[in-house]
Amino acid sequence: MDFTQSVSSAVALLYNTYPFPPEPLLDAPPPGYNWRWHWPSAYSFCAGRLPQGRGVRILDAGCGTGVGTEYLVHLNPEAEVTGIDLSERAIATARERCRRSGAERAQFQQMSLYDADQLPQQYDWINCVGVLHHLPDPHRGIQALARQLAPGGIFHIFVYAAVGRWEIAQMQQAIALLQGERRGDYRDGVAVGRAIFASLPDDNRLKQREKTRWEMENSRDECFADMYVHPQEVDYTVDSLFELIDASGLEFVGFSNPAAWQVGRLLGGSPELMARAEQLEERDRYRLIERLDPEITHFEFFLVKPPFERETWTDAKLLTAIPERNPCMEGWPSRTLFDVNYQIVTLTEEEYNFIVACEAGNQTVGALLSTIPLTLEQVRSLQERQLVLLGF
340 within 8 A of 279, measured Cβ to Cβ: no
Using pLDDT thresholds of 50, 70 and 90, give the confidence band for residue 1. Answer: low
- 18 pLDDT exceeds 80? yes
The Cα 21–Cα 363 span in angstroms is 42
At 37 the pLDDT is 98
The Cα 195–Cα 150 span in angstroms is 48
Alpha carbon 95 to chain centroid distance? Answer: 22
* Contacts of range 311-317, beta carbons closer than 8 Å, 24 or more positions apart: 311/47, 311/48, 311/49, 311/390, 312/48, 313/48, 313/380, 313/383, 313/390, 315/376
* 158, β-bridge pairs: 129, 300
Q: What is the mean pLDDT of residues 322-347?
A: 97
Alpha carbon 315 to chain centroid distance? Answer: 32
At 199 the pLDDT is 98
* Beta strands at 322-325 and 388-391: parallel, antiparallel or unpaired: antiparallel
Q: What is the mean pLDDT of residues 75-96?
A: 97
Backbone region of residue 26 per phi and psi (left: phi > 0; alpha: psi in -120 to 50; beta: other values): beta
Q: What is the mean pLDDT of residues 94-114?
A: 97
At 2 the pLDDT is 84
Q: Can you count the helices (H) and strands (E) in the chain?
A: 17, 11
Look over the chain and give the mean of its residue pLDDT values, rounded to a whole number: 97
The Cα 116–Cα 154 span in angstroms is 16
58 within 8 A of 124, measured Cβ to Cβ: yes
The string of pLDDT tens digits covering residues 185-235 is 999 999 999 999 999 999 999 999 999 999 999 999 999 999 999 999 999
Q: What is the mean pLDDT of residues 76-90?
A: 97
The string of pLDDT tens digits covering residues 268-303 is 999 999 999 999 999 999 999 999 999 999 999 999
- 257 pLDDT exceeds 70? yes
At 361 the pLDDT is 83
What contacts 372, CB < 8 A, 6 or more positions away? 350, 353, 354, 357
Tell me the H-state helices in 269-375: 271-278, 282-292, 315-320, 349-358, 365-369
The Cα 361–Cα 29 span in angstroms is 26
Q: What topology is assigned to 3-162+235-304 in CATH?
A: Rossmann fold (3.40.50)
What contacts 307, CB < 8 A, 6 or more positions away? 151, 152
